[in-house]
Structure 1
Amino acid sequence: MKGTLFIILLLACCLSVYAQQPADNNHIRGRFQVGDVTTDPGVHDPVMAKEGDTYYVYYTGGGIQVWASKDMKTWTKLPSVFSVAPAWVAQRLPSFKGLGFWAPDLSFHNGQWYLYYATSIFGKNTSVIGIATNKTLDPKSKDYKWVDGGMVIQSVTGRDDWNAIDPNLAIDENGTAWLVFGSHWDGLKLVRLNPDLKTIAEPQEWHTIASRPRDYKYTDAEAGNGEIEAPFIFKKGDYYYLFASWDACCSGIHSTYNIRIGRSKKITGPYLDKDGVDMAKGGGSLVLGGDTGVNKTFYARGHNSVETFDGVDYMAYHAYTTTYERLEINQLDWVDGWPVVKK
């Protein structure tokens, strides 16, 4: 989501939303105190991982930024994944400049970490998803080195009715790799990958697994309404659970972001919500949104990831306050086969 327009909007957003102010650490959810990442407040689109005794949070911006913690409370800033943008990105997106990568997805396979990331021309479906690998997440290790693997998927305005952003890798019960991604336009897409986890498998197999009605007075070059993005597939028991974010992000207290869910016994869907409505046809049960009532601390929540550490399921996401986006981490309970934020 970069380009001239995005840079202008991002600067304006930074001035009004990301201004560093003392954090209100009085809001407690589950057994974790939120608002702990305060020295660099703009945590956006977080994904969590654990290696050894250390938790890591990777998130949007600055070449993919990184925090590390031993307890999920006290966080230390680590070097970004990229200090220089891979040359192929500017070749695919000629107007791209800087280190505006976002929405990282991180998981461990085949003896190494796979990091998917995206960038785009803001408000357009001119987007790319790339991949980088590393043997370790510990910058102090002699094996630490991010190796860019190039482009995985590109979407092109006028050619595609989908948008190649917000990637998430999912492995099905047969060991087959799938990449779920997308936002707005025709919704969230799922495509089968080769065992290298870097290329699309042939014959190509694509699925639309979530979508919302859109006002098609907008052209295919504009995001329009019917916001849906940030897919994440999590396997639990007999079901694959599809998390997605609805409505508007990135607008501070005016954000309306909320996390929705459906489930399926097949990774390709259909993903049905609690009322049996297919997410590909506008379905999606609410998991978590902004605070309700007059005394709000968080105005919206979204772009989540879900991980299991030491037998416990956690959900990480960003939340909009009156000052900036914060990292929140919740423990999940499961009630009647559906995730519930532990309070």
Structure 2
Amino acid sequence: MTKQLLKQWAAATAIAFCAAGAQASTWTLTGSLITHDPSVYKENSTWWITETSDTGIGVKFSPDGHAWTQGVSIFGGGLSWWGQYNNNSKTVWAPDIHVWNGKAILYYAVSTFGSQKSAIGLATASSIATGNWTDKGAVLTSAPGNNYNAIDPNFFVDKAGQPWLSFGSFWTGIYTTRVDANTLKPTGSWYHLAADSTGIENSFIMSNGSYYYLFVSKGKCCDGANSTYHISYGRSTSVTGPYLDKNGVDMLNGGGTTLDAGGGRFIAPGGESVANGVMVRHELDSQNGYNGVLFINDLTFSGGWPTY
């Protein structure tokens, strides 16, 4: 979840990356690549990304997942109810886009840096491409003194076809709860999945084979050369945990196997999401003002563990 505002969309159109020499499964990307906290979903033949933005919910689209175009922001003028959580700005963090029960759904967060006065909002549309978004307001909130923070939402569906929402940032970490299949609002018990004293956020849960996998971003996201963001994971046979890393350490106790720590020109990978067999994330470009840049890799599993 980013804590800085990105204002250089246009600069992205001049950037093209091919890192195949370093990682054979890294996709060649062109077009609008400046991003932070990208959430990816493929609807029919079109790839979509929603992203953190200081003008509503940022949107990108691509016909093939390689060439990206910046779209029109969703709720770019801001919504009145956001103001109590983000100091009357238009900023939205870490939107999470999916299709569920025949309609497009979009969870997103509004807050300010270092604050627990936060909210997760929900919007729906007939389809992503149609873009006729209707806001449903806040579905989860937090306040100073709570032991959780209501940001960084991630919608996922378990193997029984039941919908869930994971969320959380810093404080006591990551949680998940069932959501109602119709209203998409949280219902029932909360389950504590992961914590880390160095910082933890941006949860993403998926299933593969016999396991559920919890991906998180750990460390500092946005401190230039001092950024320490990295993507870690654990797995569990139950959607509610415990999630253990390769060494058997529970992610509630700071566990997590590093998937990607970056290095060289591009550092501090995070804000990850997965769809159609690929992992999407941002990495900071040390040669371009440490702006977040879009990266996509084929995500595979070896011996029951994710890799790319």
Q: d(CA) in 2 for partners of 1:20 and 1:275? A: 42
Counterpart of 1:199 in structure 2 is: 185
1:209 aligns with 2:193: yes
Shift of 1:88: 2.3
Instruction: Could you list the structure 1 runs, at least 4 aligned residues long, displaced by more than 6 angstroms after superposition.
Output: none
Structure 2 segments unaligned to the other structure (5+ residues): none
CA shift in 2, pair 1:256/1:35, >3 Å: farther
1:114 aligns with 2:114: no
* Residue identity matched to 1:333: T
1:149 aligns with 2:136: yes
Q: d(CA) in 1 for partners of 2:268 and 2:82? A: 32
More strand by share: 2
CA contact (8 A) 2:271 2:282 kept: yes
Q: d(CA) in 2 for partners of 1:187 and 1:52? A: 35
Q: d(CA) in 2 for partners of 1:289 and 1:37? A: 25
2:37 to 19, 23, 45: 45
1:30 aligns with 2:24: yes
Counterpart of 1:257 in structure 2 is: 229
CA contact (8 A) 1:256 1:290 kept: no
1:9-50 deviation line (CA, Å, top 9, x unaligned): 64xx869xx894853635334355455244xx5300001111
1:65-107 deviation line (CA, Å, top 9, x unaligned): 11111122211221111133222222x43x6223201101111
Counterpart of 1:130 in structure 2 is: 121
Q: d(CA) in 1 for partners of 2:181 and 2:191? A: 19
Q: d(CA) in 2 for partners of 1:14 and 1:89? A: 20
* Residue identity matched to 1:36: T
Q: d(CA) in 1 for partners of 2:60 and 2:255? A: 34
2:71 to 78, 98, 123: 78
Q: Which moved more, 1:80-89 or 1:276-285?
A: 80-89
Shift of 1:209: 0.2
CA contact (8 A) 2:166 2:203 kept: yes
Q: d(CA) in 2 for partners of 1:156 and 1:250? A: 24
Structural RMSD (CA)? 2.2
Query: Who wins on radius of gyration, i.e. which is larger?
Result: 1
Q: d(CA) in 1 for partners of 2:59 and 2:248? A: 38
Percent of matched pairs sharing the same residue:
37
1:171 aligns with 2:157: yes
CA shift in 2, pair 1:184/1:89, >3 Å: same
Higher relative contact order (CA 8 A, sep 6+): 1
1:293-323 deviation line (CA, Å, top 9, x unaligned): xxx1212211100112xxxx10000001111
Three-state SS of the structure 1 residue aligned to 2:206 is: strand
* Residue identity matched to 2:298: Q
1:63 aligns with 2:85: no
CA contact (8 A) 1:32 1:73 kept: no
Three-state SS of the structure 1 residue aligned to 2:186 is: coil
1:302 aligns with 2:274: no
1:234 aligns with 2:221: no
Give the count of matched residue pairs.
Answer: 301
Q: Which moved more, 1:192-201 or 1:107-116?
A: 192-201
Counterpart of 1:185 in structure 2 is: 171
TM-score normalised by L of structure 1: 0.82
CA contact (8 A) 1:163 1:182 kept: yes
Q: d(CA) in 1 for partners of 2:248 and 2:307? A: 18
Shift of 1:254: 2.3
* Residue identity matched to 1:86: L
1:325 to 272, 289, 292: 292
